[in-house]
Structure 1
Amino acid sequence: MSRKKIIALVVVVFLLWGIFSLAGLFWKKSGDKIETLLTVIALIKSQYYQPVSTEKLINGAIKGMVEGLDDPYSTYLDPEQFKHLNEQITGTFGGVGLIVTMEENHIVVVKPIPDTPAAKAGIKAGDIIVNISGRDTKGMDLDTAVSLMRGPVGTRVEVGILRPGEKETRMFTLVRENITIPTVESKMLDDKIGYIMLSQFTENSPQAVRKAIGDLKKKGMKGLIFDLRDNPGGELKAAVEIADIFVPRGKTIVYVDYRNQPDEEEKAEVPELGIPVVVLVNGGSASASEIVAGALKDWGVAVLVGEKTFGKGVVQSIFRLPGNAGLKLTVARYLTPKKHDINKKGIMPDVVVKQPAGSKEDRQLLKAKEILAEKIK
């Protein structure tokens, strides 16, 4: 090792040592661990059989620190992942067009977005994604899987699919395109029953839901089915604005319970919709979906039909870090209006209806139509 490299290494170590020394009491309690960290950095820099940048080591240390929280929702995001997350929030990104969920530690396709690379290639709802660009997805968290499938428009990604009933993995090479998530689909069903499906909560979702309701009202809607099945959540603000459409004015939508700052209480500000509503939920309904479903159930303004929700009752904030990296950190838990903590518990529907895997008949939707037909007679 050259004299210059040794001097640079010593400078890095002493800089890190000085930063940690400022912690005072923290140092007294954790000095041996910090010394171990600095020693490991120095040993890797000087003894590892291949050169490793200090940036890579520090990024690894930060990632390990966040992983040490044992919180599946707190994640260190490198610049590329942070960029993808911001694209997801705004609803437009470079990707392959798959809406996915987590089922028994597997990444499962909820549905391909029409006219996207995944749909054109023949990937179907129910397909299990077993690898992405050579990485095994068994036990992989949803955010990582989604991030791997996204990237610059025009680049390629290889996705391995295991179709139910088959033993061989199908490989798909997909070219990423600019994807706009169609978060809202709406239509008029029989008997003046409106139907709105929301696939994700983005910045644009509240406006899209209000527009869909307005269009259905013009067609004479007397009851509404609001489908939140397999909706993994999204923006807290979007969830509050959408719940506000249904919850009576002045009533609580959600409590946000922080550790080191005053709790927040979000209340409805606009008149409620005023027609019978059924909300469809299942095990893929999580986070923001559960905020909406919990508020509507607690105030009795909708009947929940389907299966128990996922049970994600914690709130994440996104922090921008130096170098365009980011930190998604759990900062609070949320409680329903009746102060129910649903984290790791989920919300049980008012009417439980199981949907058999592979069935072409949507039993949950049929039950919702039956309930509304009785209410709007």
Structure 2
Amino acid sequence: MNVCMDWFLLLQTVSAIVLSVIGVLGLIFRKRLGKRKLCLLCLVLLVGIGYNGYRIYDCLWWKRHLAMEAELQFVGDQKIRPEDYPEDFEEICNVVEKHYKLAKRKGIALETLREECRQEVLRAKNNTEYVRVLQKYFAALKNLHSFPMYAPYQAPASAEWRCDSLYVTGSLLALPVRAGDRILSIDGKEASVWRDSMMQYVSASTDKARYKSTASWVFSSYTDSIRRLGLSRGDSVLFVDVPLSRDGKKQVQLHHEVGDQKRQKRDAATHEKKEIRKGKSNLEMLALHDFEESTLTRFLLQFCKARDSRHIILDLTDNTGGWVADAELIAALFLEKPYQGKHLIEPLPQAYKGELYVMINSGTCSAAEYLASILKESGRAVLIGEETAGDFGTMVLTFRTAHGTYFRLGAELPQLTSGGNPTEGVGLVPDDPVKEHFSEPFRETIRRRTIVLILNQVIQKKKKELFLQNT
């Protein structure tokens, strides 16, 4: 922010100096120019400098909010008094009503929404109650990229909805939950009732994505520090308390880093064996579950080792996205011809030439969804899984209020893809839809289906070759 404003002030200062110099010269040579010409010259210069300043400021404003990094804080740590909630909320509403262009398209009356939530803001007695109103307000915008920004209390575990039931899919450290546990109740509410109550607080661009996304809040919360869960495990029903801690996210990241190191060693050993065999691999699986720098580095290393294989499965399930430039870089590794996305994407010389299959689900969103869209529209890949989250076209801006509330907003109307498909409000439809099964994680179901599809295609190809040989 400071850098942008410094540039603006510098340019405006230079413009003022130029105007002053021309004004002085005009006074010196006023007899030659005449008063009318001198006044007209000064007026033209003044208008030009004002217009130029407006354009510069507008450009810097967009750059500032596109690049702004939020200083995430826990809800209880924010220094804001209850009497300041209405003023803070009004500032947020003013920004949303000015820049949220999707409201009309989605049939949202922003003024009505402001008034409804303002009454709840007036009743809020603490930060927890106020932030819940903010979550409800932003969820009503029906956009994945529009939400208040706070540091979450979190437990190193995960859950997902399968066949209208909620299951634990992963658990780290010494938590009292295990992968495979069915969650019957949350904080005294039946799982489905809890889900329905949570949907009014979850930001999403489609109803299905909103429903699915509630699972990510089982072990995460802006306001709660403990979850009381009722579990079904085998023939037993048990109730456990799961703490949501301030360092839960760090624990998850640390676990992923350790896992990454183990995978790198395992991949290196597998690659050495292939080098010894000197054979061409039939199938490689590349997972890209986020766009963090360490993940991208590992992915590129894996790609270099897998690019000679006949088939590659690219796993984009539950990838919540990242920078557009990173998505376009990955796309360039697989494209066969140029594709006009947000920018023109040229295939890289070392691009993969074999068969490509991409795994997607409702958790595939933002830049990951954009990547899947590129690979589908270019005809480069077969998409397998379920419909994606439905938002990779909005311009995401970050704001900070005078009272220190950070929030993001999907501003400006999203454009269509080069193939004429929407980029917000409708998810990508897979070429081969997969139905979830209650007995295993959905990602595993999609993976098995993808492998079966590849095997069937290989068998059909072999049959065709044998037929041609015998005719």
The TM-score normalised by the length of structure 1 is 0.62
The verdict on how the C-alpha distance between 1:348 and 1:127 changes in structure 2, with shifts beyond 3 A counting, is: same
Matched, 1:321 2:404: no
Which has more radius of gyration? Answer: 2
Q: CA deviation at 1:239?
A: 2.8
Residue aligned with 2:390, SS: coil
TM-align CA RMSD: 5.2
- Distance, in Å, in 2 between the alignment partners of 1:245 and 1:347 is 21
Partner residue in 2 for 1:74:
146
- Structure 1: gaps spanning 5 or more residues: 1-8, 46-51, 85-93, 255-263
Residue identity matched to 2:170: P
Matched, 1:131 2:186: yes
- Distance, in Å, in 1 between the alignment partners of 2:216 and 2:231 is 17
Q: For 1:55-85, what per-residue CA distance to the aligned partner results, in whole angstroms no more than 9, with x for missing partners?
A: 78876775564344344652223xxx2x34x
The verdict on how the C-alpha distance between 1:233 and 1:106 changes in structure 2, with shifts beyond 3 A counting, is: farther
Matched, 1:310 2:354: no
Partner residue in 1 for 2:322:
235
Report the identity percentage: 14
- Distance, in Å, in 1 between the alignment partners of 2:390 and 2:360 is 14
The verdict on how the C-alpha distance between 1:197 and 1:159 changes in structure 2, with shifts beyond 3 A counting, is: farther
Q: For 1:178-231, what per-residue CA distance to the aligned partner results, in whole angstroms no more than 9, with x for missing partners?
A: 2224697686799531111233343443322211112335xx5332111233x2
- Distance, in Å, in 1 between the alignment partners of 2:86 and 2:238 is 51
Q: Is the 8 A contact 2:162 2:438 kept in 1?
A: no
Matched, 1:298 2:377: yes
The verdict on how the C-alpha distance between 1:318 and 1:204 changes in structure 2, with shifts beyond 3 A counting, is: farther
The verdict on how the C-alpha distance between 1:250 and 1:112 changes in structure 2, with shifts beyond 3 A counting, is: same
Q: Is the 8 A contact 1:278 1:372 kept in 2?
A: no
The verdict on how the C-alpha distance between 1:199 and 1:369 changes in structure 2, with shifts beyond 3 A counting, is: farther
The verdict on how the C-alpha distance between 1:324 and 1:357 changes in structure 2, with shifts beyond 3 A counting, is: same
Residue aligned with 1:333, SS: coil
Q: Is the 8 A contact 1:106 1:130 kept in 2?
A: no
Partner residue in 1 for 2:242:
173
Q: For 1:39-68, what per-residue CA distance to the aligned partner results, in whole angstroms no more than 9, with x for missing partners?
A: 9988x69xxxxxx46x78876775564344
The verdict on how the C-alpha distance between 1:125 and 1:245 changes in structure 2, with shifts beyond 3 A counting, is: farther
Higher relative contact order (CA 8 A, sep 6+): 2
Partner residue in 2 for 1:117:
173
- Distance, in Å, in 2 between the alignment partners of 1:161 and 1:56 is 25
Within-5 A mapping of 1:210-225: 210-217=300-307, 221-225=309-313
Partner residue in 2 for 1:258:
none
Partner residue in 1 for 2:431:
350
Matched, 1:200 2:281: no
Within-5 A mapping of 1:31-110: 52=125, 65-71=137-143, 73-77=145-149, 81=150, 83-84=151-152, 95-101=154-160, 108-109=167-168
| Greater displacement, 204-213 / 139-148 | 139-148
Q: CA deviation at 1:296?
A: 1.0
Partner residue in 2 for 1:364:
450
Residue aligned with 2:292, SS: coil
Q: For 1:219-275, what per-residue CA distance to the aligned partner results, in whole angstroms no more than 9, with x for missing partners?
A: x5332111233x2422143433322321246322x3xxxxxxxxx446346343222
- Distance, in Å, in 2 between the alignment partners of 1:36 and 1:279 is 43
Residue identity matched to 1:138: R
Q: CA deviation at 1:300?
A: 1.5
Matched, 1:158 2:227: yes
Residue identity matched to 2:155: V
Count of equivalent residues: 321
The verdict on how the C-alpha distance between 1:243 and 1:157 changes in structure 2, with shifts beyond 3 A counting, is: farther
- Structure 2: gaps spanning 5 or more residues: 1-80, 99-109, 203-211, 275-279, 466-471
Q: Is the 8 A contact 1:101 1:284 kept in 2?
A: no
Q: Is the 8 A contact 1:246 1:273 kept in 2?
A: yes
Residue identity matched to 1:211: L
Q: Is the 8 A contact 2:360 2:388 kept in 1?
A: no
1:279 aligned residue (323, 337, 358): 358
Partner residue in 2 for 1:49:
none
Name the one with the larger helix percent.
2
Residue aligned with 2:410, SS: strand
Q: CA deviation at 1:358?
A: 1.9
Residue identity matched to 1:221: S
- Distance, in Å, in 1 between the alignment partners of 2:299 and 2:135 is 37
